[in-house]
Amino acid sequence: MPPLADLAIAAVRWLEYAGLLGFIGVIVVRRLAAMPPALHWARPSTQPALAAAFTGGVAVLIGEWLRSGHLSSAIIVRVAAEGIALALCVYVRRWVVPPAILAVLALPFAGHAAVAGPTGGAIFIDAFHVLSAGAWGGGIVVLALLRPPDGWGGKEGRALLARFGPVAFLAFTATALSGALRAAEVLGSASYLFSTPYGLVLAAKTAGVLVMVAMSAVGWSRGWRFTRLEGVVVLFVLAATAMLAAFPMPPEYPIVELAGR
């Protein structure tokens, strides 16, 4: 198991991830709701998501500094972008998207992708993965918090689901493909999936994604019956994602294990 400090940082990293992906989900849902005919009830604020991202980001920054005594420039840039986006959201209410997206794109520069080789391809795939996951998983979380006037079985609720469906399908496809590419690159061998801590957490994350897919398939066919529960599954998947950063990548695991003996 990773040190307790790494697990604590993973917990607050989960809050940051939830905020950033939730922000992307809010933007997607707001854009869909603005399509004619407009659905005025489906325009949630970006402030809660940005507040969560900034709070988690500051906690990660402090935790990394206390643990190692130094900070990477990627973390500083990311937290600064989150703070700017939150300030613009609260006081200006304009120009919020650019710094928030910068914070999202900065995530891979402080993760495992930054130490992979070649780093450029790994960072690009990770950034693409985060953006598509935000549109899919973040959108699901936002929908779970909405309350259509006549329920999800009503006219306006079904209209929003119909608009979100194609976006969710494309975003899920992009998320699955990019995630599979990174998993194949990181694992190196299928045996690492169940023989290393990193692989086990990745397997749990994959299981959560499969549950999301099954729930979405049933939910859309029956009027979105599992809204809140699916949102909880998304948060579980994000927790597993945050935990992955606390574990060494599988090719390094035997070395780390031997060094600790």
* pLDDT tens, position by position, 225-237: 556 788 889 999 9
For Cα atoms 224, 139, 193, give the angle at the middle one, nearest 5 degrees.
95
CATH architecture of 4-259: Up-down Bundle (1.20)
Give how far Cα 205 sits from Cα of 4, 201, 238, 260, Å: 21, 6, 8, 27
Least confident of 36-40, 122-126, 202-206, 246-250: 246-250
Assign 223 a pLDDT band (cuts: 50, 70, 90): low
User: 119-175: per-residue pLDDT in tens?
Assistant: 667 788 899 999 999 999 999 999 989 999 988 888 998 899 889 989 999 999 999
Specify whether the backbone of 223 is left (phi greater than 0), alpha (psi in -120 to 50) or beta: left
**Are the C-beta atoms of residues 167 and 203 closer than 8 Å to each other?**
no
